[in-house]
Structure 1
């Protein structure tokens, strides 16, 4: 492993993030405040508790997952798409750097950025509601795996995208609806039985359920299912990226 190459890519991507530090941190904080005002105050006044947890605290894991997933995808997809767009990707491919080092640099930076945002949102939540973390180690593990897996997905999207419109297509039309319908702001047990069954086909349900379990000890699906879902999704993304670099799909073509 060429750690110098990994460090160079990682530092370059993180430098781009810190150049817009105020925007990078201020935007999620403001969004979180708005969510707490709209959902925590307006809806929370009608829904006092969910599974024995106050509604304001109940939505915190969902808010973190919503921001982490979207940030991981957007940072990773733009990070690899921009070199493709300006043509510098060929310099990277011709350098003595293998695909693992390229992926580690770009995905590592995107996952780190998403992790920063997740921590900021968690800190912001403490100013609005009383949040307890029942299983802190599990919470950190779920957060790290989510940042990593969706950064890998964003990397795939960045390679697939042929223009800036396509770069936003999957996150806006597929990922964001799945997150909103994945129990971010409600428990799927509150849905009619038929919709509970349909929700189980949404992979994001397992991520949010497992992450919420790490906070409150309650989950919509067994925690083992959540772990298997995120591990399987991460492995699938790695397999797809390996195939992309092996065949040169959308990179050398």
Structure 2
């Protein structure tokens, strides 16, 4: 394992984030803070508790995941698409780097960015609403697993798209709607039976449920099944990335 090369890619990606700190950190935190102001403080004070959990606290896990999932995909997709677009991908592919080391560099940087963003959002949320984490280890593990899985998805997106305008299609038109409809702002028990059944086909429902269980020790599904589902999704992404490097599909712009 060439750790020096992994560190070089990782350091380059992190340096780019520092240069664009307003876009990569400040903007998502500010957007999430507005959600807490509107839904947590303004609307939440007028809503009944959901399963003995104040509404403002109830939405903390969902809003955190909303930012983490979208930013994980965006960061990883942009990170690998930029060298494809500029032609620097030729230097990366000709360097003594294995596909695993390339993935570790780009995906690792995207994961760290997402985890820093999650920490900033959770700190910001504490200013607006009170909450406690019932299972800190599981909360960290689930959050890390989500960041890794969706960073891998973003890496696939960055390898497959053929234009800048298509980079945000998955985060904006797929991940965001699924997260909003995945129980981030409500419990599935509040929905009519038909919509509850439809929601079961939304994969983000299980991620939000697992993360909320780690916070409040309440769940609508088996949290271990939720984690198993997430591990399965990660495995699928790993297989797809491996196939892309094996065939060379879309590695060049």
Question: Structure 1 residue 22: deviation in Å?
Answer: 4.1
SS at match of 2:128: coil
**What's the secondary structure of 2:124's corresponding residue?**
helix
Shift of 1:107: 0.1
Q: Give a deviation string over 1:87-125, Cα, whole Å, max 9, x none.
A: 110111011101000000000000100110000000001
User: How far is 1:168 from its partner?
Assistant: 1.3
Q: Show the 5 A alignment for 1:6-45.
A: 6-45=6-45
User: Which residues in structure 2 correspond to 1:104-253 (within 5 Å)?
Assistant: 104-252=104-252
Pairing of 1:2-81 with structure 2 (within 5 A): 2-81=2-81
Report how many aligned residue pairs link the two structures: 253
Shift of 1:252: 4.5
Q: Deviations over 1:232-252 (max 9, x none)?
A: 011010000000000111114
Offset of residue 48 of structure 1:
2.1
TM-score (norm 2): 0.97
Distance verdict in 2 for CA 1:248–1:49, change over 3 Å: same
The offset of 1:45, in angstroms, is 3.2
Give unmatched runs, 5+ long, in structure 2. Answer: none
Conserved? CA contact 2:57–2:131, under 8 Å = yes
Would the alpha carbon gap of residues 159 and 147 (structure 1) be closer, same or farther in structure 2, given more than 3 Å must change?
Answer: same
**RMSD, aligned CA:** 1.2
Q: Output one character per residue of 1:5-39: Cα deviation in whole Å (capped at 9) or x when no partner.
A: 11110000001011123443321232122101221
SS at match of 2:127: coil
Alpha-carbon distance between aligned partners in 1 of 2:236 and 2:167, rounded to the nearest angstrom: 20
Q: How far apart, in 1, do the equivalents of 2:41 and 2:244 lie?
A: 46
| Aligned equivalent of 1:94 | 94
